[in-house]
């Protein structure tokens, strides 16, 4: 690093040591940062020398003040996965400690919403949210160009409410100012607007039958969360009953696959129904780990052979594989969530 860069860096560290987390701090910081390398090393230096809050704020600021940084270093938005999941062609050298760390950073209150990128859809997400995963799966399956902004749902950014008054993800935002929320509505909209790889049957009756199954699956979803909360509250009897109901609620899906005689509900490739129910099937191993004595997962697989084949097939689907999170990571997140301090940035 050059002597002048070192001096600037020193100044920046001092700035963070001596001032609070106000926006003014970030603006002053911006004025000091003058090169990409200084930016990278500067932020780690801040993290080292300044207190935790200032470092956090700097990370948020560096991230959220994206427009300012754009000409210097094209920072990635917080994608669901790590650097490898990157829809843009940013040079590898920018995959620094900071960008790697920030690849799943969930923006919180006080952050600035990153500007939309030309020609890209925007999906507001939370890495472990199964509803948001639905929208990601559809955007990805259809080969759309999109970016992802992860949101901290415990300390929500103000700009989330401007887009969804309920403050929930997923949210879709388009370049021409359209905003939608609710996972099923976003998914249908994307499928309808973009002609490539239609994910629903053209036959209105078949489409309606699939929609009935999506509706029925909301029963599975609600039992899934009942199980998690009863585990947290130590209610063994309730957990046992919910697990039985959970297994029962999956039965119509086994029957439907048997009737359809195809690997996926949509045929040879997954379609809308497949993607709408997948996120919770991906999370079933959480239940097995949490209550191994109450939930015999292996027996459930044997009782539902078509559903198990489907599950294996789904895991191999490139769209599903892109967003697949390991059972261990899910478990870690669920533990943090149940303890009241969800760790989104795992
Ligand atoms: N019905 C909504 C549910 C979305 C939802 O509950 N998302 C959760 C995260 S998995 C959320 O944003 N929670 C924030 C909150 O409830 O405050 C959908 O299908 O999109």
Dump pLDDT digits (tens) for 44-78: 333 333 333 333 333 333 333 332 223 233 333 34
pLDDT attached to residue 69: 29
Task: Give the 3-state secondary structure of residue 146.
Answer: strand
Place of tokens 């940084």: 69
Is there a single domain that holds both residue 221 and residue 308?
Answer: yes
Residue at which a domain ends, from 146, 166, 193: 193
Is there a single domain that holds both residue 188 and residue 226?
Answer: no
pLDDT attached to residue 152: 97
Is there a single domain that holds both residue 187 and residue 218?
Answer: no
Over residues 253-303, the pLDDT tens digits come to 999 999 999 999 999 999 999 999 999 999 999 999 999 999 999 999 999
The CATH number of the domain holding residue 173 is 3.40.30.10
Check pLDDT > 60 for residue 119: yes
Task: Answer with the residue of higher pLDDT: 34 or 156.
Answer: 156
**Residue 329, domain member (yes or no):** yes
pLDDT attached to residue 163: 98
In eight-state DSSP terms, residue 93 is G
Check pLDDT > 60 for residue 98: no
Task: Answer with the residue of higher pLDDT: 241 or 97.
Answer: 241
7 Cα–ligand 1 center, Å: 46
For range 183-194, the mean pLDDT: 98
Check pLDDT > 60 for residue 13: no
In this structure, the residue with its CA closest to atom 12 of ligand 1 is: 168
How far apart (Å, rounded) are the C-alpha atoms in residues 13 and 264? 56
**Residue 113, domain member (yes or no):** no
Q: Is the CB of 153 under 6 A from ligand 1?
A: yes
Atom of ligand 1 at shortest distance to CA of 135?
Answer: 20
pLDDT attached to residue 241: 97
Is there a single domain that holds both residue 282 and residue 333?
Answer: yes
Is there a single domain that holds both residue 181 and residue 139?
Answer: yes
How far apart (Å, rounded) are the C-alpha atoms in residues 264 and 88? 31
Is there a single domain that holds both residue 209 and residue 326?
Answer: yes
pLDDT attached to residue 345: 87
What rounded mean pLDDT belongs to the chain? 78
**Residue 115, domain member (yes or no):** no
Strands (E), 64-158: 121-125, 146-150
For range 10-27, the mean pLDDT: 36
How far apart (Å, rounded) are the C-alpha atoms in residues 57 and 214? 41
pLDDT attached to residue 104: 75
Least confident of 37-46, 132-141, 286-295: 37-46
Residue at which a domain ends, from 75, 91, 106: 75
173, β-bridge pairs: 122, 179
pLDDT attached to residue 122: 98
Is there a single domain that holds both residue 182 and residue 213?
Answer: no
205: CB partners within 8 A, 6+ apart: none
Nearest to 279 by CA among 81, 125, 137, 105: 137
| Strands 179-181 and 171-173, sheet pairing | antiparallel
**Residue 98, domain member (yes or no):** no
Active site residues: 129
Is there a single domain that holds both residue 239 and residue 314?
Answer: yes
Nearest to 129 by CA among 319, 314, 340, 334: 334
Measured from the Cβ of residue 9, the count of other Cβ atoms closer than 10 Å reads: 20
172, β-bridge pairs: 123, 180
Is residue 39 within 8 A of residue 8, CB to CB? The reply is no
Q: Is the CB of 168 under 6 A from ligand 1?
A: yes
Alpha helix positions (H), the chain: 3-18, 23-32, 36-49, 52-64, 66-69, 97-102, 130-141, 158-163, 183-193, 204-232, 236-260, 272-282, 284-290, 297-303, 305-316, 318-323, 327-338
Q: Is the CB of 337 under 6 A from ligand 1?
A: no
Task: Answer with the residue of higher pLDDT: 42 or 187.
Answer: 187
**Residue 198, domain member (yes or no):** no
Total domain count for the chain?
3
pLDDT attached to residue 298: 95
336 Cα–ligand 1 center, Å: 17
In this structure, the residue with its CA closest to atom 15 of ligand 1 is: 168
Is there a single domain that holds both residue 69 and residue 163?
Answer: no
| Strands 121-125 and 171-173, sheet pairing | antiparallel
pLDDT attached to residue 346: 87
**Residue 184, domain member (yes or no):** yes
Is residue 322 within 8 A of residue 262, CB to CB? The reply is no
Is there a single domain that holds both residue 221 and residue 288?
Answer: yes
Is there a single domain that holds both residue 180 and residue 214?
Answer: no
Residue at which a domain ends, from 75, 95, 130: 75
How far apart (Å, rounded) are the C-alpha atoms in residues 279 and 255? 20
Q: What percent of the chain has pLDDT over 70?
A: 70
Is there a single domain that holds both residue 209 and residue 331?
Answer: yes
**Residue 82, domain member (yes or no):** no
For range 185-202, the mean pLDDT: 98
Sign of the CA dihedral 113, 329, 187, 213? negative
For range 111-131, the mean pLDDT: 97
Q: Is the CB of 151 under 6 A from ligand 1?
A: no
Range of the domain at 13: 3-75
Least confident of 9-18, 101-110, 134-143, 275-284: 9-18
């Amino acid at each position: 690093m050059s002597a002048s860069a070192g001096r600037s860096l020193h100044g920046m560290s001092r700035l963070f040591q001596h001032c609070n987390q106000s926006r003014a701090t970030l603006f002053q910081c911006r004025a000091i940062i003058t090169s990409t390398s200084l930016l990278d090393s500067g932020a780690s230096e801040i993290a080292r020398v300044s207190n935790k809050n200032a470092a956090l704020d700097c990370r948020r600021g560096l991230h959220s003040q994206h427009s300012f940084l754009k000409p210097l270093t094209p920072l990635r938005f917080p994608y669901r996965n790590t650097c490898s999941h990157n829809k843009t062609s940013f040079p590898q050298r920018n995959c620094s400690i900071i960008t790697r760390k920030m690849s799943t950073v969930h923006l919180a209150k006080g952050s600035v919403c990153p500007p939309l990128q030309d020609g890209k859809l925007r999906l507001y997400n939370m890495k472990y949210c199964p509803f948001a995963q639905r929208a990601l799966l559809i955007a990805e399956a259809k080969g759309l160009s999109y970016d992802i902004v992860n949101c901290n749902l415990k300390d929500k950014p103000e700009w989330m409410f401007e887009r969804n008054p309920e403050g929930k993800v997923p949210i879709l935002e388009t370049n021409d100012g359209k905003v939608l929320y609710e996972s099923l509505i976003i998914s249908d909209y994307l499928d309808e607007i973009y002609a490539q790889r239609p994910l629903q049957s053209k036959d209105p009756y078949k489409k309606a039958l699939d929609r009935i199954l999506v509706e029925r699956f909301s029963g599975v979803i609600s039992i899934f969360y009942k199980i998690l909360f009863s585990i947290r509250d130590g209610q063994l009897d309730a957990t046992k009953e919910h697990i039985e109901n959970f297994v029962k609620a999956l039965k119509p899906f086994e029957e439907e696959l048997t009737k359809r005689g195809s690997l996926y509900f949509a045929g040879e490739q997954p379609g809308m129904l497949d993607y709408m129910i997948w996120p919770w099937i991906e999370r079933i191993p959480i239940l097995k780990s949490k209550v191994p004595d109450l939930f015999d997962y292996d027996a459930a697989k044997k009782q539902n052979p078509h559903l198990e084949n489907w599950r294996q097939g789904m895991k191999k689907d490139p769209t599903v594989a892109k967003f697949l999170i390991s059972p261990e990571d899910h478990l870690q997140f669920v533990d943090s969530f149940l303890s009241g301090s969800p760790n989104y940035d795992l």
